[in-house]
Structure 1
């Protein structure tokens, strides 16, 4: 049996400013640092057989606060957040000046989202690369406990991979907050939900 522990990076300055990050980076806030450290304390008694991390600085910094031994990290480029192209670094208001319909589609009707006019990454291509990353991770881990530190939309793509969730259901609850904890068990055939988006360590 393999236990997969999933978490999103801690809160960042751009999260607070409501700016899209995507493939760009923003530093963790004090709250983001505290919540990552709290998750580290929560997981301190668990021995992970593998730790997989997005190459993004915010994910790497979060991982260092959870697990101090950087030599145990495996960085996988395909765990990076979806690219929003020209939208990255912009606030919702700035994006909606030219791309209101597509911005609304992404968050409310993702199956209708069109990435082309702002040079973003398509949801199909994004989900495929995340599936490739997860396939690699599963091939390297048949049993034990692994930790994956990544991004909000990546975790949604992983959930779609685990349970064949269609694009129109992409944003269904639970909300995946920064440093929330999700646990999934894999017996070689099926993925079992143990915990999704838990934030008890942040209270």
Structure 2
């Protein structure tokens, strides 16, 4: 059996400030690093065969803290990057809401039709996340893997694994920073467990 632990990166400065990150980046907050440490303690008795992460600083740093491995030992995969928000990257969400209300409405009510200005669609994001996933699971027939990515990427990936339409993207469980989801694959059967679990913070 192959078990994959899916983790959303820890809270960043821009998360706390309400700034869209996408393909841009910002450092982890103190609270973010502390929660990553709590998750690391929760998983410390589980031997990991490999650690994968989006190449963004926030994902790699989270993977380092959770796994206890140096950045050089973490396998970076560009397919695990967040939605490219194009011209929205680096802007405050509140300003985008005021200036581009119609597109923001589409984002939240018809995600399957949304296209970021100069950036991705969720379908494009799902396609590259699924490609990354298939490559990773083809490499590992069994064992335990940690995979650190982003909220949008993980939600698209989970929709792919559960064969759910992106039309219902926002109806799926939310994934908090440093939340834990684990997926088991055995004899070709995929089972998604503990989606968005944050009990390790308690």
Q: TM-score, normalised by structure 2?
A: 0.95
> 1:200 corresponds to which residue?
199
1:106-185 equivalences under 5 Å are 106-115=107-116, 118-185=117-184
> Which segment drifts farther, 61-70 or 94-103?
94-103
Q: Kindly report structure 1 stretches of 4+ aligned residues shifted beyond 6 Å.
A: none
> 2:55 corresponds to which residue?
55
Deviations 1:31-83 (A, max 9, x none): 10000000000000111111111100000111111112224311111111110
CA displacement at 1:108 relative to structure 2: 2.7
1:17 pairs with 2:17: yes
Aligned to 2:19, the other structure's residue is in SS state coil
- Could you say what the CA RMSD is over the residues aligned between the two structures, in angstroms? 1.2
Cα distance in 2, alignment partners of residues 56 and 29 from structure 1: 15
Structure 1: runs of 5 or more not aligned:
none
Deviations 1:134-179 (A, max 9, x none): 0110110111111100100111011012111101111223210000
Q: TM-score, normalised by structure 1?
A: 0.94
> 2:189 corresponds to which residue?
190
Cα distance in 1, alignment partners of residues 187 and 149 from structure 2: 23
Cα distance in 1, alignment partners of residues 190 and 18 from structure 2: 33
Structure 2: runs of 5 or more not aligned:
none
* Count of matched residue pairs: 201
> 1:39 corresponds to which residue?
39
Cα distance in 1, alignment partners of residues 7 and 138 from structure 2: 20
> 2:106 corresponds to which residue?
105
1:77 pairs with 2:78: yes
Cα distance in 2, alignment partners of residues 11 and 66 from structure 1: 13
